[in-house]
């Protein structure tokens, strides 16, 4: 793919298959970090394209528990609309909470990116409710703590993940997938 993109910069990196998936969608759905990186480096990539179900590549990475793709998309590319819901109103955070992907949620909190927890008690987008319904007590505790004190929680998570403010890089390994 790298050589193909280098040879022909006119390639339509946003071309979609029948369900609306682009190469970036497929890479994020499958956790293919190097392919996602190549797509993101292309000058004409639209990182917020939605498939037929309204899912962005970022949402797929969150739903499929691919922390490293989330890292590349969330922390390294400001073009990504991280709170963009799918056609059903479910946000990437809602999916991460539903699937119990604590590493993604911690990374998101540490990043400093705006986090929309959803409308309380709204079945479609309340991330805390999604986590609670699936019995994800650690996630519920973390998000409740975040709701009460964003700055303190963000700092605690950054310390846990060994992220420095000056050089915002993740020092720890995300082994849970």
Query: Is the residue at 9 inside a domain?
Result: yes
Residues sharing a CB contact under 8 Å with residue 22, sequence separation 6 or more, in sequence order? 13, 14, 15, 16, 39, 46, 49, 57
Q: What is the CATH number of the domain that holds 108?
A: 1.25.40.20
Query: Is the residue at 169 inside a domain?
Result: no
Total domains in the fold of the chain: 1
Angle (CA) 30 36 40, round 5°: 155
Up-side HSE of residue 176: CA atoms within 13 Å toward CB?
11
| pLDDT tens track for 119-160 | 777 777 899 999 999 999 999 999 999 999 999 999 999 999
Please give the residue range of the domain that contains residue 54.
2-160
| pLDDT tens track for 72-121 | 787 778 899 999 999 999 999 999 999 999 999 999 999 888 888 887 77
For the chain, how many helices (H) and strands (E)?
11, 0
Q: How many CB atoms lie within 10 A of CB 31?
A: 18
What is the model's pLDDT at position 176? 35
Query: Is the residue at 21 inside a domain?
Result: yes
Question: What is the spatial distance between Cα 110 and Cα 118, in angstroms, rounded to a whole number?
Answer: 19
Query: Is the residue at 10 inside a domain?
Result: yes
What is the model's pLDDT at position 172? 37
């Amino acid at each position: 793919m790298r050589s193909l993109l280098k040879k022909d910069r006119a390639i339509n990196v946003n071309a979609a298959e029948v369900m609306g998936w682009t190469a970036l969608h497929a890479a994020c759905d499958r956790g293919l970090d190097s392919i996602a990186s190549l797509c993101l480096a292309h000058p004409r990539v639209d990182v917020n394209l939605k498939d037929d179900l309204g899912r962005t590549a970022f949402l797929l990475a969150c739903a499929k528990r691919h922390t490293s793709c989330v890292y590349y998309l969330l922390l390294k590319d400001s073009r990504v609309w991280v709170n963009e819901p799918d056609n059903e109103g479910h946000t990437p955070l809602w999916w991460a909470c539903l699937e119990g992907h604590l590493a993604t949620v911690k990374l998101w909190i540490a990043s400093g990116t705006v986090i929309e927890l959803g409308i309380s008690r709204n079945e479609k987008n309340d991330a805390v409710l999604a986590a609670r319904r699936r019995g994800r007590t650690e996630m519920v505790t973390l998000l409740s703590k975040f709701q009460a004190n964003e700055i303190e929680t963000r700092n605690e998570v950054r310390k846990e993940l060994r992220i420095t403010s000056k050089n915002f890089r993740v020092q720890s390994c995300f082994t849970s997938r």
